[in-house]
Amino acid sequence: MGATTTTIGGHGTAKMLGEQDRQKASPSNYKGFVAGVFSGIGKLSVGHPFDTVKVRLQTTQKSQFHGPLDCLLQTIRKEGIPGLYKGATPPLIGWMFMDSIMLGSLTYYRRLLNENIFNPTTHPYTPGGIQGVISPQGQEAYRKLPTVGHAIAGVMAGATVSFIAAPVEHIKARLQVQYAVDKTMRLYSGPINCAQKIYTAHGLPGIYHGLTATLLFRSFFFFWWGSYDIFTRLLSQHTTLSSPAINFWAGGLSAQIFWITSYPSDVVKQRIMTDRLGEGRRFAGWGDAAQAVWREGGFRGFWRGFLPCFLRAFPANAVALVAFEGVMRTLP
């Protein structure tokens, strides 16, 4: 009770407490970036084999593979289990870095939106802010970021990480569509060699080939992080699940919502990223690639490779978000 009455005293005391709250909150900005590293490791370990099958289905003619199971079996038969992890080095490093940037910036943008737009510390109609007129429990409810705020923060985080993700995914995609069993017959011997050859021939624009498609694809983070908040609230309110279990189910289900809404744009992105650079380039822009997908497969062409992607989405992202939220709770 004493803490509550001191906040009622006046504008000066409330303002001082508001400043103290912000000072306490600011150091925790680092937590999202650190926790994101562990998310990236978990995501790649579980999800990369699914991703290899997805990319191969997205970028080949129908005659090469009869479906995801056929693609999986052919890959294992011809290239062994390591074939499923082909191109894994850039995303291993990339996912650690990308999830650190994505989840760290997401955490920051959530706080930024909450404190400056949705629940500003100083309410425009209340001198001294909310501390002087609302109980601690009411303050917590007042400060909670609404679902649309989580969704907008997701879009902002997606745009931020796209500048890291675009070159990583570009190199990964080119390595994944090298089908030659004999390594000497492959154009690229590895991620560094791939990056060097692209940069030598086409410069930085070549490395960032597909950036616009990446930005568009990650704008669908609106649905991922918005639905993650919805699932988290529902599971918290209507079940007795532990926090890690809630993170697991909310993370897996929200990732599937994301892929259902974003998958067609990912198909187009992969076509652009595996297109020739320089002479012989097929697609001048996103629209050309989308038209090519439509001509070749109609509506179903935009969903080619969806099954392995959908199957991957739940376990990979469920594990990733359990790791992320667990580290967030552990760090001081």
Q: For residue 320, give the 3-state DSSP assignment.
A: helix
pTM for the complete prediction?
0.75
Alpha-carbon radius of gyration of the chain = 23
Q: Token pair for residue 163? A: 């500048």
Alpha carbons 254 and 320: distance in angstroms, whole number:
12
In the block, which residue shows the tokens 């994505």? 102
Q: What burial class does residue 93 get, using C-beta atoms within 10 Å of its C-beta: 0-12 exposed, 13-18 middle, 19+ buried?
A: middle
Residue (of 210, 290, 270) closest to 59 by Cα position: 270
Task: List per-residue pLDDT tens for the chain, 332 residues long.
Answer: 444 444 334 444 444 444 444 444 444 678 889 899 889 888 887 888 888 888 788 777 777 888 888 888 888 888 888 888 777 776 677 778 888 999 999 999 999 999 999 988 644 444 444 444 433 444 454 468 999 999 999 999 999 999 999 998 999 889 888 877 677 778 888 888 999 999 999 999 999 999 999 999 999 999 999 999 999 999 999 999 999 999 999 999 999 999 999 999 999 999 999 999 988 889 989 999 999 999 999 999 999 889 888 888 899 899 999 999 999 998 87
Alpha carbons 211 and 88: distance in angstroms, whole number:
20
HSE toward the beta carbon, residue 92, CA cutoff 13 A: 8
Asked if residue 273 lies in contact with residue 175, where contact means CB atoms within 8 angstroms, the answer is no
* Start-to-end CA span in the chain (Å): 27
How remote is the C-alpha of 89 from its chain's centroid? 18
